[in-house]
Amino acid sequence: QLRRYSDVSLAGWFAALLFAVFPLRLNMPGAPPIGAWIDYIVFLWVVVTLMITLTVFIVTWLRFGDPVPPHIVRSLGDRVRRADGPGENS
């Protein structure tokens, strides 16, 4: 099984997009009132897609993500070996 380190900052991007879509829609020049047909055709689907994507990403990250990235585990292992002394691990 191929496992890759997933960066949690991507969830921040999804959340920022989710909260930025509302002001962006309201501040567009000539924006129609809330509840117009464009909301049902485009805006609602964008918000629902962002919510589903954020939920799937967080669930996947919690379920399958490594608790610590591999390069940190390796560096911690080196520190433990150095603290034990050169001859005690062999």
Tell whether the torsion through CA atoms of 37, 39, 40 and 43 is positive or negative: positive
- Is there a contact between 50 and 18 (Cβ–Cβ < 8 Å)? yes
Dump pLDDT digits (tens) for 10-69.
888 888 988 998 888 888 888 888 888 888 888 889 999 999 999 998 888 888 766 666
Q: What is the Cα 28 distance to its own chain's centre?
A: 27
pLDDT tens digit string along 67-81?
A: 666 666 566 555 544
State pTM to two decimals.
0.61
pLDDT at 3: 59
3-state percent helix, strand, coil for the chain, nearest multiple of 5: 70, 0, 30
- Integer CA distances (angstroms), 85 to 10, 19, 46, 47, 54, in order: 40, 52, 57, 56, 46
Q: Which of helix, strand or coil describes residue 61?
A: helix
Write out pLDDT tens, residues 13-22: 888 988 998 8
